Amino acid sequence: MKLCEKCGGKGYLTTGEKVCPNCKGTGKIESVSLGEASASEIDDLVSKGATKCPVCKGEGKIPVTETCTECGGLGREYLCAICGVKLTTKGELCTNCAKKPVVHTLENACDTSDLVVGDTYQGKVSGIANFGAFVDLNDHVRGLAHNKFLKITPEVGEEIYVRVRNVAPNGNIELEPVEVGEHHTLEVRKELPVTRVSDLQRFVGKMISVEGEVIQVKQTGGPTIFTIADDSGLVFCAAFERAGVRAYPEIDTEMIVRAIGDVSVRNGQIQVEVKSMKQLWGGEASVVKDRIEKSIDERAEPSDPPLLVESEIITRLKPKMREVAKEIRRAILKSKPIVVRHHADADGMSAAVAVETAIIPMIREVGGSDAEYYNYRRAPSKAPFYELEDVTKDLTYALEDQSRHDQKMPLIVLLDNGSTEEDVPAMRQAQIYGLEMLVVDHHHPDEAVDEYLIAHVNPAHQGGDFGITTGMIATEIARMINPDVEEKIKHFPAVSAVGDRSEAPEAERYIRLVEDRFGIDELKKIALALDYEAFWLRFNDGRGLVNDILCLGRLDRHRKIVQLLCEQANEAIEEQLRASFAHVKTQTLPNGAVMNVLDVENYAHKFTFPPPGKTSGEVHDRLCKKYGGKPVVTIGYGPDFAVLRSRGVRMNIPKMVRELREEIKAGGVNGGGHLVVGSIKFVGGMRKEVLAKLVEKIAACPVDPVPSSGSKSEEKVEA
C-alpha cells in the first residue's frame, strides 16, 4: 500500500505553529509530577530549577495541523485485499467482502510473529499424536490442535481450517479446527522493508526482502539458482524443493519478483537462501521495472575518451560507436549473453579480441567468476559475412541454453562482417527468434541490413572507406566500454591496418602510435601469424593462442609463437607459389590494366594454407612488383568462385555482382566484399560466361596511375 504523496504517510498537514499552552512559549516548566518524571527531568529540576517542556520538547511552539484531505487522515492508500477497491478506513476488507469469512494462508517466509490470534488459517495435518494433531501452516510454522478440540481425528496430509487460539512465549501455537463454508482466501505476506542488492553484505545471517527482475534460472543437482537483478546489482538466490527438482516452476526469466530469504556467503559470494518468492504484478511490477531500467541506462553510459589518433571520419562515427558501446554495456549489466562474430582474419580477430578484452572483466564483475562461460562466446566466420551456417549455430546454442538454463536470447555483435546484402538471409532468421544484432564493419554497406540491426557502425556512412579497418573502430569502442584495457589493446588497430593492407592516413598514425613497442615488421608478423592460425582454428576461437599472438600474455611466449607461425606460414606460401605462379595467365585490358588469371582449383594445393583467397593475394602482390607503375587486377578462380584483388583499378565489386546477377540470370551470381577486393560465387556450369562478363566490366573501369615503387603493403613478411 503506497503512502499518501500529499502528507507523506502522516495523515495530516502542518499549516503553521502556535505558542505551546503547556509552557506558555518558554520551552521549560518549573514543576513536574514526580511519579511520571524521568530521572533526567528530576536532575534538571534539582540542578536548574526547571526542566524541558515535554509537550513542545523545549521549542516553545507546537505545530498547527489539519487532517489530510487527500487520504482522509489514513496516511496511506488502503485497498480491499479481496476486490482491490479503495477503502475509506483502515482495514483489510471492504464492507461487501467482509460479509464472508476470511481464511488466511501463510507464505513460506512467515513465522509465528505473523500470526494473529483469533484469525483462521488453512493448514495441513503433518502428524498425529496421542494428545492431538500437528498442523503445518507453512513449511516453517507448526501448531497443535489438542484432542479436546478435535471432533474427529484427521488423517495425515489432510487440509483443514484452524483458528489460532494462542501463541505461547516459547513459540508453541494452540490451534482449534473450525468449520468454514463459503469464504475468501487471503495470503499473509511477510512484511519486510525492501533491501537493495548492493547492501546485502551488511545483512549476512538476517532475513531480507529483495525486489527485482529474474535474469536467469539454473537448475543444479541440488537447489534451483535464480539470478535476480535490481537497480544496484545482481544476487544469486538459492531455492530448494528436492535434489535436482525445479523450485518455483511458475517463476521464469524476465519476471519481476519479490524474494524473501536469509543472506549467506557461499564461495565468497553473497547468496540469498529463499524462503518465499512471488511474481509482482501491475503497478508494483512497473515501479520496480522502471527503477531497474533507469539505473541500468545510467550505468550503461559508456566512457568518452579522446581517440587514440586524429581522424575526421572516426570522430564523425563516435555517436554511433557510443551507441554500440552502450548496448554492449547494457547487455552485460542485464546478464544477457553476448556472442561476438567476426571474420577469421587479422582485422576481424584483432577487432573481436579488443572487444572481448574489454567486456570479460565486466561480465565477471557483474555475474561472478564463472559468468563468462554462460554469458559470452566468440566465434569466427570463414566468410566476410554472416552466413546461414553461422546463424544456425548461434541459434542452436542459444535455444539450448534457453531450454537448459532459462537464459535470455543473446546479443549478436558482428565485427568485420554484417554490412552487406549477403548477411540478410541469416539476419532474417535471427530476427524471428528475437536476436538483437550490432554491426561494426568496413565492407561497403547496403541499406537492406539496417532494418535488422539496433546499431550499425561503418566508415562509409560518414564518407570513409575500407581503409579505416574494423580493428581501428572496435578498439576505440572497446575503450569506451572499459577504459582500463587501453594499454593492453593499443596496438590492435596497427595490427588490423597491416593485416588489411590499409593505406588510409589513420593506418600510419596507429602504426606510429605503437612504434616504441612494435615495429612495422613485428606488426606484419603478428598479422601473418593471425591469418595462418585462423586457417587451422577454422570455427574455434582459440582464445589462449590468439591472445598470445596478440601479446596479451607473456612477452617471451608471444615472440616465440609469432616467429614459429610466420616461418611455417612463409614456407607454405612459398610452396604454394612454386606450384602456382607458372600457371598465371596475363593480358593487358583496353583500359591499360594488367589482368592476371590463375586457376586455383587445378594449379594450387587444396585444403591447406594458404587458401584460395590468400593464394590469389600473394600472387597479386608479386605481380604488382613485376608490373610497377601499372594498374593490376588478379583473379583466382575455381569451379564456382572467383577471388579478386586489384591495384589502381576503380572497381565496385558489390555493384558488379548485382549487375552480373541481372545480366546472367541463370548464373546464380552472388558475393561482394570491399569495392576493389572481394569474391564472387556462381554455379559451376556458368563459370565461362560469368568470368567473361566479369572481365568485360573490369576492362570498362577507370584506372589510376600507380607509383612505380609499389605499395608498402606488398612487401613480404620475413620470418
Domain identity same for 453 and 420: yes
**Mean pLDDT computed over 56-79:** 78
Instruction: Work out the burial of residue 567: count CB atoms within 10 Å of its CB; fewer than 13 is exposed, 13-18 middle, 19 or more buried.
Output: middle
**pLDDT for res 90:** 66
Q: What does the DSSP assignment read for 117-155? A: TT-EEEEEEEEEETTEEEEESSSS-EEEEEGGG-SSPPP
The answer to whether residue 461 is domain-embedded is: yes
Take residue 300 and report the three cell numbers written for it. 550503461
Domain identity same for 342 and 449: yes
The answer to whether residue 246 is domain-embedded is: yes
The answer to whether residue 471 is domain-embedded is: yes
Q: Is the pLDDT of residue 171 over 80?
A: yes
Adjacent-strand bridge partners of 672: 679
231 touches 237 (CB < 8 A) = no
Domain identity same for 320 and 287: no
Domain identity same for 339 and 464: yes
Q: Which residue has the higher pLDDT, 137 or 28?
A: 137
> In this structure, are strands 338-343 and 376-381 parallel, antiparallel, or unpaired?
parallel
The type of residue at 104 is H
Residues contacting 477, CB < 8 A, separation 6+: 321, 324, 325, 328, 354, 355, 440, 457
Q: How far, in Å, CA of 552 to CA of 495, rounded? A: 13
What are the pLDDT digits (tens) for 113-157? 888 898 899 999 999 988 899 999 998 899 999 988 888 888 898
Q: Is the pLDDT of residue 439 over 50?
A: yes
CATH number of the domain within which 383 lies = 3.90.1640.30
**Mean pLDDT computed over 673-678:** 78
Q: Which residue has the higher pLDDT, 490 or 370?
A: 490
CATH number of the domain within which 135 lies = 2.40.50.140
Domain identity same for 267 and 329: no
**Mean pLDDT computed over 240-247:** 87
What DSSP designation does 114 have? G
Residues contacting 516, CB < 8 A, separation 6+: none
Domain identity same for 486 and 387: yes
Q: Is the pLDDT of residue 75 over 80?
A: no
Domain limit, last residue, from 128, 154, 188:
188
Adjacent-strand bridge partners of 588: 594
Share of the chain above pLDDT 90, in %: 59
Domain identity same for 355 and 466: yes
Take residue 141 and report the three cell numbers written for it. 510454522
**pLDDT for res 715:** 40
Take residue 656 and report the three cell numbers written for it. 558488379
Using the structure block, give the residue that is written with the C-alpha cell 519478483: 257
**Mean pLDDT computed over 14-21:** 86
Q: Which residue has the higher pLDDT, 36 or 189?
A: 189
The type of residue at 676 is V
Confidence of residue 712 (pLDDT cuts 50, 70, 90): very low
Closest residue by Cα to residue 51 from 36, 63, 66: 36
What are the pLDDT digits (tens) for 540-592? 999 999 999 999 989 999 999 999 999 999 999 999 999 999 999 999 999 99
The answer to whether residue 306 is domain-embedded is: no
Domain identity same for 335 and 450: yes
690 touches 635 (CB < 8 A) = no
Domain identity same for 201 and 235: yes
What are the pLDDT digits (tens) for 459-483? 999 999 899 999 999 999 999 999 9
Structural domain span for residue 160: 98-188
Closest residue by Cα to residue 107 from 145, 144, 143, 137: 137
Domain identity same for 201 and 181: no
The answer to whether residue 34 is domain-embedded is: no
**pLDDT for res 713:** 37
**Mean pLDDT computed over 157-171:** 90
609 backbone dihedrals φ, ψ, rounded to 5°: -85, 140
- Count of the separate structural domains present in the chain: 4
Average model confidence (pLDDT) across the chain:
88
Q: Is the pLDDT of residue 422 over 50?
A: yes
Q: How far, in Å, CA of 688 to CA of 159, rounded? A: 84
The answer to whether residue 529 is domain-embedded is: no
635 touches 694 (CB < 8 A) = yes
Q: Which residue has the higher pLDDT, 203 or 151?
A: 203
**Mean pLDDT computed over 221-249:** 89
Residues recorded for the chain: 719
What are the pLDDT digits (tens) for 381-408? 988 889 999 999 999 999 998 887 778 8
The answer to whether residue 76 is domain-embedded is: no
Confidence of residue 33 (pLDDT cuts 50, 70, 90): low
**pLDDT for res 63:** 87
Confidence of residue 50 (pLDDT cuts 50, 70, 90): low
Q: How far, in Å, CA of 645 to CA of 623, rounded? A: 11
Q: Is the pLDDT of residue 711 over 70?
A: no
CATH number of the domain within which 616 lies = 3.10.310.40
User: pTM score, two decimals?
Assistant: 0.76
Instruction: Count other Cβ atoms within 10 Å, centred on residue 507.
Output: 24
Domain limit, last residue, from 299, 328, 344:
299
**pLDDT for res 719:** 40
**pLDDT for res 15:** 85
Domain identity same for 507 and 382: yes
Q: Which residue has the higher pLDDT, 234 or 571?
A: 571
Using the structure block, give the residue that is written with the C-alpha cell 570498362: 700
Confidence of residue 708 (pLDDT cuts 50, 70, 90): low
Q: Which residue has the higher pLDDT, 519 or 48?
A: 519
Confidence of residue 326 (pLDDT cuts 50, 70, 90): very high
Domain limit, last residue, from 493, 517, 541:
517
**pLDDT for res 47:** 56
Domain identity same for 208 and 160: no
Write out the H or E segment, with its range, that includes residue 480: helix 470-481
Cα–chain-centroid distance for residue 132? Answer: 56
Q: Which residue has the higher pLDDT, 83 or 639?
A: 639
Using the structure block, give the residue that is written with the C-alpha cell 569502442: 477
What are the pLDDT digits (tens) for 592-621? 999 999 999 999 998 899 999 899 999 999
**pLDDT for res 655:** 87
The answer to whether residue 670 is domain-embedded is: yes
**Mean pLDDT computed over 193-197:** 90
Q: Is the pLDDT of residue 714 over 60?
A: no
**pLDDT for res 170:** 87
What are the pLDDT digits (tens) for 273-308? 999 999 998 888 999 999 999 999 999 999 999 999
What are the pLDDT digits (tens) for 331-362? 999 889 999 999 999 999 999 999 999 999 99
- Range in 384-398, 635-649, 700-714 with the lowest mean pLDDT: 700-714
